[in-house]
Every structure is written in C-alpha cells, then in structure tokens.
C-alpha cells in the first residue's frame, strides 16, 4: 500500500511560528493548479501499480482551493493511480474557511476526513501565533463539520506558548474532548530558524518558550487523554479506537509515498526526493516537462536509523525481530546493548521483542533515537 501527499502552497496569512513552504499571494494559484495536474502525469509511474490507500491535501492551506480546482485534482489522481476502494482522503482546513457550502463541496469531491488547524480555543494564544481565525470560529467550525456528516475529524493543538497556562492547556484538551473529536495532533511550539517568531524572540519582542513548561504540558496531555480513552499511538498523535490517521501511520510504518507540489517529499524505501520550495520555479520547470527535485539514495545505515527513529515514535515501538530481518543480527545485538541504559532509566521498556518508549521516555524521544543511531564509527 502507498500514500499520496499534495502540497497546496498558499495561505491567507503567515502564522509567526510556521516554517512550511507557502505564499500569502494567490497570484500564481491558477498556474499552480495546471502545473500540479501536469506533475501528476509526470509522476504517474513513481508508485508503479502499488495500491494507493490514502490521499492527503496539506499545506499551506488546502481549504483555499475552489471546488472545481479540487475536483480536477481528484479526477486526475483517480485516473492516474491505482486507488484502493475506500481510501482515506484528508483535507487540511482552517476554521475561517469552513462553511456549510464548502463542506458540501468537499464531500462531493470525495474528501472524507478533515484536519482542522484549531491550535487553541483561546483568543490570546491565536493572536500571539498570528492565526487568521478567532476562538469563536474554532468551536463553531467543528460543529459545522460534524453537522455536515464529517465524523472522521482531527484537529491540531499547540502547547507550550508563553500565553498559555497549564490550566488553559487543560481547558483546551477538555474542550476538544467535549466536542467529541476522535483524533488530536498536539505539538509543542517549536521556534524554527528563519521564522517571524524566531526573529521576534531574538529582538525581545516576544517571550521565549519555556522547555520545562512544555514538558509539564506534554505530561498533562498524555495523562488526560489516557483518562478519556484516546490511544497515544504516536508521539504527537492521539486517537479514539478506529480513528488513527491511516495516512500519517503509513509514514511511521515506512510505506512508500509520493509527494506532489512545491517542497513535497517522496519516498520509495530506497530513495528520497523532494521538490523545489519555490512556486514560480516549480511552475516554470513543470511547464518544460521537468520535475524540479533533488534525490538521495539512502544507505543501509540511513535506512536503519530511519527505522529506529520512526519505530520508536509509535505505540507499537521497535520490533527487534523485524530489525534483524531487515538488517542484521549484529545490528540487533548492538541496539539491545545500547538501549539497556534507557531501560534502566525507565525511559524505554521491553515488551516481548519490542522496545517502547515509556511516558517519561517520550519527553526525550528524539534524543534517545539519535543516541541509538548507527554512526559507522
């Protein structure tokens, strides 16, 4: 099975923390759609005949697309790839774009899952992030989507902002649960280089984030959602039974995927490639029949390290027998030796042949994975 990701590189407004590729000018949107359709033709053999079980419209802000634009892209995808019956088709949407007529249009094109960028149910947080919507829209849009028949919903929430107390974070969690949202993606605010937020912090115009506060809010998040019956199936993702994101899960399972649009990444198990993060140059190159991308062939060491990283992020953890089968017995033995200190610290537990992060270990997930990487030295 495989997945397809489509990057829609346009936004109404620039969130201060965002480091994804996007433009706040819609001048090139029509040209982009035509180039995207042509790229689908150019990439139609990338997945061979592997069945595609998930399609994901990300961005940027895919909810800016008009119904006819979305329909054209969907028709092209279904005509170019082996799409499995009953695929999960997700559209990222901003609360201020959600209205009854848009919801009906999305359903008519085959969208069956929405990922809504709520981030917070408090105005002070949204204003600090420079979001385009307000708190009243955050709650209303979810009700509108549910009334329209979208039961497979996920929302994004951000914790660890200087404006947010532990009590407010708890209220955000309880609001989401009270709205009967079956999937939550929750992220610690990250200050990325080159973002407006990073610059404002450097100039002391905004307060820096507090790592200890973020850690306490992550622990609070895990405790609360466990009580409410959510599975913590990946570091940042929580779902009621039956509502895991099939698309995102495929990334963590190492399945192949094709990325379309500027800055989109593709992976086939042995190579990774990524398109240029520039709308104008993307359009120009596609018009000339060339995919503007770079590619790297993954070494066995890189494949092993990626397996370690993505496996440890999941609830199922890293299966040592699968690692031995995919790589080698000496690499399994080395990993078992290296991980022993984290087992002693109570940050990793061994369940049969699997290594799993404990709640304490999830606070250090990236560092633990990096320490277990094969360095070749």
Question: Are both 73 and 204 inside the same structural domain?
Answer: yes
User: Is 53 domain-assigned?
Assistant: yes
CA dist., res. 62 & res. 74, Å (int): 13
Question: Are both 8 and 144 inside the same structural domain?
Answer: yes
CA dist., res. 318 & res. 369, Å (int): 11
User: Is 76 domain-assigned?
Assistant: yes
DSSP 359: H
* Kind and range of the H or E run holding 281: helix 279-287
User: Is 267 domain-assigned?
Assistant: no
Range of the domain at 190: 2-252
CA dist., res. 357 & res. 314, Å (int): 8
Question: Are both 80 and 228 inside the same structural domain?
Answer: yes
Helix axes 365-372, 329-344, angle to 10 degrees: 140
Tokens matching residue 70 = 């979305």
Question: Are both 180 and 114 inside the same structural domain?
Answer: yes
**Domain count for the chain:** 2
Boundary (domain end) residue, out of 188, 219, 252: 252
CA dist., res. 94 & res. 181, Å (int): 16
CATH assignment of the domain containing 327: 1.10.10.920
- H-type alpha helices, 3-85: 29-42, 67-80
CB-based contacts of 339-345 (< 8 A; 24+ apart in sequence): 339/372, 342/368
Question: Are both 56 and 190 inside the same structural domain?
Answer: yes
13-41 residue pLDDT tens: 889 889 889 999 999 999 999 999 999 99
Residues of the chain with pLDDT > 90, as a percent, come to 92
CA dist., res. 243 & res. 233, Å (int): 11
- Residue matched to tokens 């170019």: 80
CATH assignment of the domain containing 161: 3.20.20.70
Return the pLDDT at 19: 86
Question: Are both 233 and 327 inside the same structural domain?
Answer: no
Question: Are both 14 and 116 inside the same structural domain?
Answer: yes
User: Is 331 domain-assigned?
Assistant: yes
Please state the pTM of the whole predicted model.
0.95
Bridge partners, 154 (sequence order): 115, 183
Question: Are both 200 and 344 inside the same structural domain?
Answer: no
Nearest 10 degrees: Cα torsion 7, 12, 17, 19? 30
Question: Are both 37 and 105 inside the same structural domain?
Answer: yes
Return the pLDDT at 377: 53
Question: Are both 94 and 173 inside the same structural domain?
Answer: yes
Q: Using pLDDT thresholds of 50, 70 and 90, give the confidence band for residue 296.
A: very high
CA dist., res. 25 & res. 228, Å (int): 41
Question: Are both 245 and 317 inside the same structural domain?
Answer: no
Which of 192-196, 218-222, 306-310, 341-345 is predicted least confidently?
A: 192-196
User: Is 169 domain-assigned?
Assistant: yes
Question: Do 274 and 263 touch, CB atoms closer than 8 A?
Answer: yes
Is 65 in a helix, a strand, or coil?
Answer: coil
Question: Are both 37 and 164 inside the same structural domain?
Answer: yes
User: Is 240 domain-assigned?
Assistant: yes
Is 13 in a helix, a strand, or coil?
Answer: coil
Return the pLDDT at 250: 94
83-128 residue pLDDT tens: 999 999 999 999 999 999 999 999 999 999 999 999 999 999 999 9
Question: Do 70 and 16 touch, CB atoms closer than 8 A?
Answer: no
CA dist., res. 98 & res. 121, Å (int): 16
Strands 2-8 and 318-319: unpaired
User: Is 277 domain-assigned?
Assistant: no
User: Is 257 domain-assigned?
Assistant: no
């Amino acid at each position: 099975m495989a997945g397809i990701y489509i990057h829609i590189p346009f936004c109404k407004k620039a969130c201060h923390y965002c480091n994804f590729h996007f433009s706040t000018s819609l001048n090139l949107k029509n040209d982009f759609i035509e180039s995207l359709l042509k790229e689908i033709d150019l990439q139609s053999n990338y997945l061979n005949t592997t069945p595609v079980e998930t399609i994901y419209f990300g961005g940027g802000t895919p909810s800016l697309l008009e119904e006819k634009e979305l329909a054209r892209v969907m028709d092209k995808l279904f005509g170019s790839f082996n799409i499995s019956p009953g695929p999960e088709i997700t559209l990222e949407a901003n609360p201020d774009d959600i209205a009854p007529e848009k919801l009906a249009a999305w359903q008519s094109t085959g969208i069956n899952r929405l990922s809504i960028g709520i981030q917070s149910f408090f105005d002070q947080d949204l204003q600090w992030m420079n979001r385009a919507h307000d708190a009243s829209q955050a709650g209303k849009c979810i009700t509108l989507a549910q009334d329209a028949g979208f039961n497979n919903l996920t929302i994004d929430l951000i914790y660890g902002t200087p404006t947010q107390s532990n009590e407010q974070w708890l209220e955000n969690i309880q609001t989401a649960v009270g709205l009967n949202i079956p999937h939550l993606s929750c992220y610690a605010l990250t200050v990325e280089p080159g973002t407006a937020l990073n610059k404002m912090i450097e100039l002391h115009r905004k307060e820096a984030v507090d790592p200890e506060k973020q850690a306490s809010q992550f622990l609070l998040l895990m405790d609360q959602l466990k009580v409410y019956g959510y599975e913590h199936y990946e570091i940042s993702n929580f779902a009621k039974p039956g509502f895991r994101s099939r698309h995102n899960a495929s990334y963590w399972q190492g399945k192949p995927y094709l990325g379309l649009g500027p800055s989109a990444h593709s992976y086939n198990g042995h190579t990774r490639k990524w398109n240029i993060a520039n709308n104008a140059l993307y359009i120009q190159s596609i018009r000339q029949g060339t995919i503007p991308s770079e590619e790297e062939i993954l070494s066995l060491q890189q494949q092993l390290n990626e397996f370690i990283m993505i496996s440890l992020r999941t609830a199922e953890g890293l299966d040592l027998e699968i690692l031995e089968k995919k790589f080698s017995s000496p690499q399994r033995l080395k990993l078992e030796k290296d991980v022993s200190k984290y087992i002693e610290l109570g940050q990793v537990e061994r369940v049969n042949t699997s290594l799993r992060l404990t709640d304490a270990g999830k606070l250090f997930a990236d560092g633990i994975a990096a320490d277990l990487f094969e360095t070749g030295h």
